[in-house]
Amino acid sequence: MAIISKFIALSLTAFVLTWAMSPMVRAEGPANPHITGFMKIQNEANTPTGRILGFAFVDSSVTSRGSLAKLPPGTKIYAPGSTVTGTEGCPTSRYHTDGLVVAVIDYQGRRNEGSVTVTRHPAPGMSFPGAPYYLDLNAGRTLQYLGPIGMNGTYEVKFRYNYAAGQQKSSSARLTLARNCPGGGGF
């Protein structure tokens, strides 16, 4: 009889702990004030953070990997606000399969969804926003291909994430291309 009582007590304890830790209870908060304090600390620790670290020029062997893409060793990352001049990042292949611009995003938090939107400013007073690129975020570094960017001008990139949690967050960065690419560098 004592063994059955212990089994029932342990089962009930496991059920209560599972219930207290469930996402639904964490989102709404339980009635027990002792658990609420624990949950507040846990939620603050789980708050996702993300930012655009910069931009890099890669080839199609990198961009073809999608969300699994990694920067090759030695790849230069241009900080937000950089101006790229000379022949830096210019395509060198006939079919422009290198010199592809990616946003380098650092994200910390649980799996999440996000988007990257590129607005092209080819001249002062001109603005051409593009459609967003949607991406799945995992903790760590993510590369997002920014499309066929080859013409000189300023590119504003907006990274948004945390849609499901209701408090959308964002990070913005600019990259200016003022290059002298062989053949004009445009696509």
What is the tens place of the pLDDT at every residue in 62-119? 999 988 899 999 999 999 999 999 999 999 888 888 999 999 999 999 888 999 999 9
Which tokens belong to 52? 């655009």
Residue 17 has a pLDDT of 42
The predicted pLDDT at position 20 comes to 43
Please give the DSSP secondary-structure letter assigned to residue 110: S
Q: Is the pLDDT reported for residue 176 higher than 90?
A: yes
Distance CA 82, CA 84 (A): 6
As a whole number, mean pLDDT of residues 159-177 equals: 89
Q: How far apart are CA 106 and CA 178, in angstroms?
A: 26
Residue 29's pLDDT is 42
In the chain, domain spans: 2-45, 49-184
Instruction: Report pLDDT for 106.
Output: 96
DSSP 183: G
**Is 90 exceeded by the pLDDT of residue 60?**
yes
| pLDDT value of residue 3 | 60
Contact indicator for 91, 182 with CB cutoff of 8 Å: no
pLDDT band at residue 40 under the 50/70/90 scheme: very low
- The topology under which CATH files domain 49-184 is Immunoglobulin-like (2.60.40)
Taking 70 as the threshold, does the pLDDT of residue 45 lie above it? no
Q: What residues pair up with 55 in beta bridges, in sequence order?
A: 78, 103
Tell me what pLDDT residue 68 has: 87
Q: In this predicted structure, which of 39-48, 63-72, 145-154 has the lowest mean pLDDT?
A: 39-48
Confidence of residue 35 (pLDDT cuts 50, 70, 90): very low
